[in-house]
Amino acid sequence: MFEQIFIKTAEPSAPPAIASSMNGDGQNDSIKINGIHLVVLVHGFQGNSYDMKTIKNNLSIFHPEALFLCSTKNEGKTEDDIEEMGIRLANEITEFTQEWCPGSTLGMISFIGHSLGGVIIRAALPHLEKFKDKMETYVSLSSPHLGYMYASNTIMNAGMWVLKRWKKSKCLDQLTMTDAKDRKEHFLYKLSQKKGIEWFKNVLLVSSYQDRYVPVESARIELLQKAIDDKE
């Protein structure tokens, strides 16, 4: 299933002890040892929080002790600037942790982003630096990390062109890298220079050759030969 797995060469620290049994007061001992594990799920373009409910429900079966947040702050606003969507997500997470993880009870944060949601998460990370030591796992499900500059699907390209003209979508301008003349001024390029993704212990990029919306190389953050040959 997984084509490539990369493991950091740094000397790993000893893993914390995990207790899965319930203690006398009805609380899971692993929460007391490791703190609360918050899992944030972020929907994609023109989606909503209910798109992530099935994933959340299945994860909660295997991790009943975890706390889940299905983001709602960008519902109906996915045509906006991705940077603004990232800020809204970061504020939503901060407010959620203040209410549900008081004091030092927050132990870990993991993210699961579908399609555009994976990019929105990356845009939110620079605004969540206070949590950088708690970042556990980042999962993107067919997210257009490299945009659509070299997309070969003509139907998809035509659809993107229509949406950009009809909806005046700032988000699609950024994903197709038509938001600036200088490529180093493109949002996706600037995002690639920002910190955040290196804070995670685990990074999983899920792609599919059957996906007709996001190019496999874009979802895998893998350079196309077209990009390598591009003199600009």
Is residue 179 in a domain? no
Q: Is residue 13 part of a domain?
A: no
The CATH number linked to 92 is 3.40.50.1820
- Whether 17 is in a domain gets the answer no
* Rounded Cα distance, 128 and 94, in Å: 8
Q: Find all residues with CB under 8 Å of 157, minimum gap 6, and list them.
A: 148, 151
- pTM for this prediction: 0.83
Structural domains counted in the chain: 1
* Partners of 111 in the β-ladder: 40, 138
Closest by CA position to 141, among listed 125, 160, 124, 120: 120
- Residue at 26 is within a domain: no
In a domain, 122, yes or no: yes
Could you tell me if residue 185 is inside a domain?
no
Q: How far is 118 from 81, CA to CA, in rounded Å?
A: 15
Quick one: pLDDT at residue 13?
A: 55
- Comparing CA positions, the residue from 27, 40, 48 lying closest to residue 69 is 40
Dihedral of alpha carbons 202, 107, 89, 57, sign: positive
For residue 4, tell me if it sits in a domain.
no
Per residue of the chain (232 residues), what is the pLDDT tens digit?
566 777 777 665 544 433 333 344 445 555 555 799 999 999 999 899 999 999 999 999 999 999 999 999 999 999 999 999 999 999 999 999 999 998 889 999 999 999 999 999 999 999 999 999 999 999 999 999 999 877 666 656 556 655 556 567 899 889 988 889 888 899 999 999 999 999 999 999 999 988 888 989 999 999 888 888 888 7
pLDDT at position 177 is 87
Residue 122 belongs to what domain range? 32-146+193-220
Residue 165: the pLDDT is: 60
